[in-house]
């Protein structure tokens, strides 16, 4: 569990009154450190600003026997890859990029906090049976192409919805040419196409990585086990769908802006920039993060940086480097790349998520609302995500392409064909990057202060929560579903366009309230676009008065007016952000009606007692609007029947009184029907303990 989501997961777990977790668990303090000046000062500031939360997490870890990784230790996914992931293991993580561990042949699935609590208390965990998408890899990467380009290309083919309901399984001779960390980069970004998880078969590269990360025993067991049960597809395996990617023909790709599936080959990017009038000046290049901070990534980049410096060049744009863990940081320090990055003028950030998730305080004079371009080796690039500026265009690429662009200072540079002028007057052209898969000596161990704290459960420990805290608050149970159909609901807002979990519950400065549901609810849907007016974060009460969306939600909550949201496709895509379900529920939401849902968010809604419904006929989206009165037809009966039955919505237009019946679809299972009837999964779990 990462620190932002662990707060609410632990607050829910505490209500179950158990002495310890039923399965091994860990907490990683990685989301709350702001990237600004550099690693040491940022870490010190982050600890000071978030001490109350870190104390809470550490005390809960001690009480319940959970392994605790302190701030600065590393990003959860990198730490998991280095310490926990193992071939054939299954794990859950409270973050959408948990499938990073699939690069080490681990079935790793991102979930919301309520799902995590089910696992922590030893209850069965349920998942709608996924289909299998086979991705056949042929050939071998060469030149500027990297593992990142595999998933950038695939995202362009599938779109952000194309992987929903699938596990992506990679196979073919091309798999043997990839490193373990390269595979992890690919599986990490499977979240961007909506996949349940992604996985690679067990290969010798996994043994090399396990041994280099001081896990010889795991490597030996994995080899022994794989001789008995082959950790790969059966010879006669049939996939529901198959996509083939020829690595030998793959060129670098650049994805964005504002969505990770807008994929453009590098050879076409300059022309695209000019045609679409995207910014040509590059404001910043940012490399590292959980997606791309491996030894292989960083040594490939170091070679480029060293060659450029020898030619007299320095980055023309701000250049930031985020190591994924203290283990990788100390290894890079030992072997030289860190010194090279510093000499080039790069800013080394803390071993934390930082700018990737909106924890970035810029000092380059770019004001909010100013269009500008950044290149990152991150995994997600929704509008406003990185710095809170909705006009910052984040283009996703490999660390090598990001670095080349940073030296050029322009988005139109192509390192495969273009050269840069040097102080001597000569032209400099980057050589195709090359790096080292794993260090010649095993990875350095993390510094002592960044090693995990492991302890048996201690019931004498008091979990640290101040009754006057603005950051943490104990949870009150949600009210159960009424013993009848829902009636008198009103549409709070009708949303158009992308409505991601960032849209529903923004990160950045709001992360400080992750453990305080009333406070963080103040940001609910605060970047959503009103479909009927085109305004951002604007909703209108029944009397015509204008409010922000969370203001109106609070107003209706106080008036005990239940409500619903109407939205378009892939509602809730992005992070496994449970707060995007908790906040609307807290404010009074009972239903979300959309054209389609992202997997994790749809489950999160049901776990919090909110009913996700989709239009049986998408054209009916035009039949319902803000303020309309809604009652359900068949919903209560469907819930009593364990998810069996049809549900429709009776809509009475707010302004005209006209009535319409909208048919809907649902994917409510028997267990989920029980959650909704009880008011939430937590209510049901608490009764069972």
With a CB cutoff of 8 Å and minimum separation 6, the contacts of 448 are: none
Please tell me which residue in 146, 294, 575, 680 is annotated as part of the active site: 575
Element holding 155 (H helix, E strand): helix 147-158
- Cα distance between residue 267 and residue 417, in whole Å: 9
Instruction: Extract the tokens encoding 251.
Output: 């060129």
- Cα distance between residue 499 and residue 488, in whole Å: 25
- Cα distance between residue 667 and residue 370, in whole Å: 42
Please tell me which residue in 215, 380, 490, 516 is annotated as part of the active site: 380
With a CB cutoff of 8 Å and minimum separation 6, the contacts of 271 are: none
- Cα distance between residue 303 and residue 309, in whole Å: 10
Instruction: Extract the tokens encoding 633.
Output: 């037809």
CB 495 within 8 A of CB 528: yes
Active site residue 95: yes
Please tell me which residue in 3, 26, 31, 215 is annotated as part of the active site: 31
- Cα distance between residue 406 and residue 474, in whole Å: 46
Active site residue 577: yes
- Cα distance between residue 393 and residue 220, in whole Å: 46
SS3 283: strand
Active site residue 575: yes
Please tell me which residue in 77, 577, 590, 601 is annotated as part of the active site: 577
Max intra-chain CA distance, the chain: 80
Please tell me which residue in 3, 5, 28, 30 is annotated as part of the active site: 30
- In the numeric block, the tokens 């992202």 are attached to 598
| Long-range contacts, 641-645 (Cβ 8 Å, 24+) | 641/673, 642/669, 642/670, 642/673, 642/674, 643/668, 643/669, 643/670, 643/672, 643/673
The DSSP string of 500-515 is -HHHHS--GGGGGGTB
Give which of 568, 570, 566 is closest to 161, Cα–Cα.
570
- Cα distance between residue 534 and residue 645, in whole Å: 36
HSE-CB of 541 using CA atoms within 13 angstroms: 15
Element holding 660 (H helix, E strand): strand 659-665
Active site residue 289: no
Active site residue 622: no
CA 163 to chain centre: 15
CB 288 within 8 A of CB 324: yes
Active site residue 307: no
- Cα distance between residue 14 and residue 432, in whole Å: 53
* Residue positions annotated with a catalytic role: 30-31, 95, 380, 575, 577
């Amino acid at each position: 569990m990462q620190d932002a989501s662990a707060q609410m997961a632990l607050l829910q777990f505490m209500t179950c009154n158990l002495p310890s977790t039923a399965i091994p668990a860990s907490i990683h303090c990685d989301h709350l450190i702001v990237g600004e000046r550099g690693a040491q000062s940022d870490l010190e500031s982050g600890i000071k600003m978030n001490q109350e939360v870190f104390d809470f997490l550490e005390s809960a870890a001690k009480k319940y026997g959970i392994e605790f990784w302190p701030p600065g230790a590393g990003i959860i996914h990198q730490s998991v890859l280095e310490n926990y992931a193992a071939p054939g293991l299954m794990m859950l993580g409270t973050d959408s990029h948990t499938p990073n561990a699939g690069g080490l042949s681990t079935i790793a699935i991102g979930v919301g906090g309520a799902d995590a609590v089910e696992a922590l208390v030893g209850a069965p965990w349920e998942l709608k049976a996924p289909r299998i998408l086979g991705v056949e890899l042929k050939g071998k990467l060469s030149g500027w192409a990297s593992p990142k380009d595999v998933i950038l290309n695939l995202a362009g083919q599938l779109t952000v919805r194309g992987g929903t309901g699938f596990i992506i399984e990679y196979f073919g001779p091309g798999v043997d040419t990839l490193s373990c960390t390269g595979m992890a980069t690919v599986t990490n970004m499977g979240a961007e196409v909506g996949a349940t998880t992604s996985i690679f078969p067990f290969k010798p590269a996994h043994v090399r990585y396990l041994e280099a990360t001081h896990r010889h025993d795991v490597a030996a067991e994995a080899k022994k086990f794989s001789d008995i049960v082959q950790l790969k597809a059966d010879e006669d395996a049939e996939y529901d769908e198959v996509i083939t990617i020829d690595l030998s023909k793959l060129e670098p790709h650049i994805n964005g802006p504002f969505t990770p599936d807008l994929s453009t080959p590098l050879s076409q990017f300059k022309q695209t920039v000019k045609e679409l009038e995207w910014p040509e000046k590059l404001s910043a290049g940012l490399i590292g993060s959980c997606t791309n901070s491996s030894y292989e990534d960083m040594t490939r980049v170091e070679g480029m940086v060293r060659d450029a410096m020898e030619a007299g060049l320095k980055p023309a744009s701000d250049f930031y480097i985020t190591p994924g863990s203290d283990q990788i940081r100390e290894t890079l320090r030992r072997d030289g790349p860190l010194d090279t990055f510093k000499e080039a003028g790069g800013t080394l950030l803390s071993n934390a998520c930082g700018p990737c998730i909106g924890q970035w305080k810029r000092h380059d004079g770019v004001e909010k609302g100013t269009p500008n371009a950044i290149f990152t080796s991150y995994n997600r690039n929704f509008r406003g995500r990185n710095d809170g500026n909705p006009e910052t265009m984040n283009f996703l690429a490999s660390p090598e392409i990001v670095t080349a662009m940073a030296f050029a200072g322009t988005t139109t540079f192509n390192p495969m064909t273009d050269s840069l002028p040097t102080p001597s007057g000569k032209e400099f052209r980057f050589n195709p990057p090359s790096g080292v898969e794993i260090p010649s000596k095993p990875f350095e161990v993390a510094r002592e202060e960044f090693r995990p704290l492991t302890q048996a459960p201690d019931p004498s420990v008091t979990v640290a929560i101040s009754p006057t805290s603005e950051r943490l608050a104990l949870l009150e149970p949600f009210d159960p579903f009424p013993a009848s159909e829902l009636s008198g609901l009103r549409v709070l807002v009708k949303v158009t366009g992308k409505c991601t979990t960032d849209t529903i519950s923004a990160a950045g400065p709001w992360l400080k309230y992750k453990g305080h549901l009333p406070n963080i609810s103040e940001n609910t849907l605060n970047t959503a676009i009103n479909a009927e007016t085109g305004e951002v974060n604007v909703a209108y009460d029944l009397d015509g008065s204008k409010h922000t969306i969370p203001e109106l939600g609070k107003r209706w909550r106080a008036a005990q007016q239940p409500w619903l949201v109407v939205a378009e496709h892939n509602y809730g895509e992005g992070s496994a952000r449970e707060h995007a379900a908790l906040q609307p529920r807290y404010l009074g939401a009972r239903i979300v009606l959309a054209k389609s849902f992202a997997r994790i968010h749809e489950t999160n809604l049901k776990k919090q007692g909110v009913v996700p419904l989709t239009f049986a006929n998408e054209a009916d989206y035009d039949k319902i609007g803000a303020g309309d009165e809604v009652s359900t037809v068949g919903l209560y009966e469907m819930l009593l029947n364990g998810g069996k039955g049809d549900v429709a919505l009776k809509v009475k237009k707010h302004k005209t009184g006209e009535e319409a019946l909208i048919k809907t679809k649902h994917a409510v299972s028997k267990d989920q029907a029980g959650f909704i009837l009880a008011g939430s999964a937590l209510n049901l779990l608490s009764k069972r303990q």
